[in-house]
Amino acid sequence: MSNQMPWAFIRALVLALFVLACFSAALAQTPSPTPVNPATQPPGMQLPPATAPPGTNVTPSTPQPSPVDPTMQEPRQPNFPEVQPQPLPPLPDLTRVGVQSSNVVPLSLNDAIRKTLQNNNDIEVSRDDVRFAEQQLRALQGVYQPTFSITPQIIKNVTPQQSVLGGGGSSATTTSTTYVLSPSLTKSFATGGGTYTLSFSNQHTNTSSTFNTINPFFSSNLSLNVTQPLLRNRSIDANRHSIRVQKKRLEQTDSDFRQRTIQIISQVQAAYWNLVFALRNQQNQLDSLNVSRQNMQNIEAQISAGVKAPLDRAQVQTDIATRETNLFIATQQVSQAENTLKQLMLREPTAPEWSAQLTPTDTPAFDLSPVNLTAALDEAHKNRPELRRLTLQKDINSVDLQYYKNQTLPQVDITSTVAATGLAGSKVPCTPDPATGKTCPIVPTNLIGGYGQDLSNLFSVKTRNITAGVTISFPIHNQTAQANLAGARIQKEQLEASYRSEGQAVEMDVRNAAQAVDTAQKRVVTSRQARESAEQQLAGEQKLYEVGRSTTFLLLQRQNELTSARTSELQAQTDYNKALADLQRATAATLRVNNVVVTDPNKP
């Protein structure tokens, strides 16, 4: 019981405070009575004026004007400032720096590609690489051309003789004069690796020796020397290795030339379509500016008629300035695209075409045919110059393996010589003396004669020389050849990995290019639909604006949306044609599609 008493007291206190708060709020919301103007009271209800108590001096107050209720004032005419019509700004100057508008050059895509093939410096550099490789191959093949040499000599000897058998006579010296003419012909053969030397030595000698039975005399020697490898250097040697490698490198330079040509043509196609887009976008921005200028004329007429406020003029002026800016940017893009194309087509920086205005004659094409990915991948893996170059590098590695393996064999060479000799001359006069017992030697008749008799004796092969032998050599352990062979095998494994990597890169490139074409096709369709919808929205907004149910801001917004939609459609069409060109590059079909024929350097 004692615990409930405090709680009851607290509740009573809270209730009393709540009632007091509600009463105070009611008093605050009770309105005070409005003072009543006695003059406005009806007759009989007017009260006498209040008087001061007796004995109080009252100073009469000056009557104050009663405040005027604003609701009781008469409305006045608004005072609008006089509006002056604004002149239409002039059209912007679209003259481009360094370009003569009077010098217009029509240009098709095929003409651009043809001029590029004729004048492009990068293509010329690649073409010269092929020509230089051809000359290097010719230089290496020159080792198998026959070598002719001739050695004319005059030899005069005065030789002392220590014996009477030397034929020196009373002077104990012999004097001889020899004229030598020795032509020779040497040739190495690619088949078998042998070397053959044919020598023909001719001498005419006049001597003072008393023991010569013929003097002067002619002597000739015709010999054939043969060196033929049996093991090392038989199937392949250093010369044949270099020639085979250079042939593959020549084909590699041809692949590099094809690859560079494909890249340049692809760049020309992209630059051409970029120029087409830039010019069409410039025209699109110019049309947009003309629409905004027409809006300015309409707004001026409406402001003059009092239908529109001058603030609407500022909106249109801002829109004109914005569209002029977009037009200037589009004009700059035209110059950039045009200069890019000129750089690819022109040969010299001083060419007069730099100041010309290029006008493309081809329009972007569009086709909804799907890309045959399987055929594109097959063509790419067969024709891509990068894969062709790696294939040729693998061929070079095979030649290296064959050569280094051959170098591990011992050197076994057959060396042989076959020679025939001839001799003829004038018989030395001799008179026998029976008194002293002097007799004259008998000289065979076939040795008496001139140079003709000498050659006759030579080709009769009655006097000849035949030599045959074998030369054998080999290094101990042959470490150099073994290391070279091991290095070539390592390079083979590297090339296999490089080929697989390049194949994957080609696969990715073709798939990305095919996807780009597919995406560009869809973008063209959707951007066309967006442009058509923007045209419908603008037409509807224009009708609402004409009946006063729309604003200048909304009309300008619809016009800008249509301009953006047209730009997007133009960009989508351009990107589709660029994607087609890139797909041709990815599949190495650029040369075939554009009818460009590259001559094989290995074919005459």
pLDDT in tens, 151-183: 899 999 888 876 666 666 666 788 889 999 999
pLDDT at 62 over 50: no
With CA atoms as reference, report the closest residue to 275 among 124, 105, 520. Answer: 105
Q: Do residues 214 and 427 lie in contact, with contact meaning Cβ atoms separated by under 8 Å?
A: yes
Question: CA angle, 198 as apex, 192 and 199 as ends, to 5°?
Answer: 155
Helix (H) or strand (E) holding 604: none
Is 130 within 8 Å of 250 (Cβ atoms)?
yes
pLDDT band at 26 (very low <50, low <70, confident <90, very high): very low
* Residue 216 CB partners (closer than 8 Å, separation 6+): 204, 205, 206, 207, 425, 426
pLDDT of residue 43: 42
Cβ burial, residue 413 (10 Å; 0-12/13-18/19+): buried
% residues pLDDT > 70 (the chain):
83
3-state secondary structure of 97: coil
Between 444 and 400, name the one with better pLDDT: 400
CA of 217: how far to CAs of 161, 201, 461, in Å?
A: 21, 14, 19
CA-to-CA distance for 176 and 208, rounded, in angstroms? Answer: 6
DSSP H stretches of helix in 371-478: 373-383, 385-407, 451-459
Which of 443-447, 467-471, 536-540 is predicted with the least confidence, judged by mean pLDDT?
443-447
The predicted pLDDT at position 9 comes to 61
pLDDT digits (tens, 9 = 90+) for 450-480: 999 999 999 998 889 999 999 999 888 889 9
Q: What mean pLDDT comes out for the span 251-261?
A: 94
Q: Token digits for 46?
A: 């007017």
Distance of CA 230 to the CA centre of its chain: 50
Indicate the average pLDDT of the chain: 85
Judged against a pLDDT cut of 50, whether residue 493 lies above it is answered with yes
The count of other CB atoms within 10 Å of the CB of residue 126 is 20
In this structure, what token pair is assigned to residue 443?
């000289």
User: Backbone phi, then psi, for 550, in 5-degree steps?
Assistant: -140, 170
* Confidence class for position 61, pLDDT limits 50, 70, 90: very low
- Lowest mean pLDDT segment, chosen from 16-20, 95-99, 223-227, 555-559: 16-20
- Burial, 383: exposed, middle or buried (Cβ in 10 Å; 0-12, 13-18, 19+)? middle
Q: Is the pLDDT of residue 400 over 90?
A: yes
Give the relative orientation of helices 373-383 and 552-586 as an angle to the nearest 10 degrees. 50
| Distance separating alpha carbons of residues 457 and 440, to the nearest angstrom | 23
What value does the mean pLDDT take over residues 92-112? 90
Amino acid at 453: Q
For position 68, what pLDDT does the model report?
47
According to DSSP, the residues that pair with 202 across neighbouring strands are 181, 220
Q: Mean pLDDT throughout 419-425?
A: 93
Q: How far apart are CA 532 and CA 514, in angstroms?
A: 28
Q: Are 523 and 575 in contact (CB under 8 A)?
A: yes
Q: How confident is the model at residue 430 (pLDDT cuts 50, 70, 90)?
A: confident
- Tell me how crowded residue 390 is: count the other CB atoms within 10 A of its CB: 21
**Which burial class, exposed, middle or buried, applies to 449 when counting CB atoms under 10 A from its CB (0-12, 13-18, 19+)?**
buried
44, pLDDT greater than 50:
no
Query: Among 27-41, 411-425, 435-449, which stretch is predicted with the lowest mean pLDDT?
Result: 27-41
**Which of 22-26, 165-169, 497-501 tops mean pLDDT?**
497-501
For range 333-343, the mean pLDDT: 95
| Predicted confidence band of residue 84 (pLDDT cuts 50, 70, 90) | low
Q: CA–CA separation, 285 vs 236, rounded Å?
A: 71
CA distance 451 to 93: 98
Query: What are the structural domains of the chain?
Result: 107-130+240-398+483-593 (1.20.1600.10), 148-229+412-473 (no CATH)
pLDDT confidence tier of residue 83, bands split at 50, 70 and 90:
low
Could you tell me the pTM of the whole model?
0.74
Is pLDDT at 536 greater than 50 in this prediction?
A: yes
The model's pLDDT over 312-330, given as tens digits with 9 standing for 90+, comes to: 888 888 889 999 999 999 9
Q: Token pair 């009543």 is at which residue?
A: 36
So what's the pLDDT on residue 7?
57
Structure tokens at 431: 């008179």
Q: Which residues, including other chains, have CB under 8 Å from residue 579's CB and lie 6 or more apart?
A: 513, 516, 517, 519, 520
pLDDT of the residue at 302: 81
Contacts of 297 (CB under 8 A, 6+ apart): 88
pLDDT attached to residue 459 = 92
- State yes or no: pLDDT of 66 exceeds 80: no
Confidence bin at 111 (pLDDT 50/70/90):
very high
What pLDDT sits at residue 163? 67
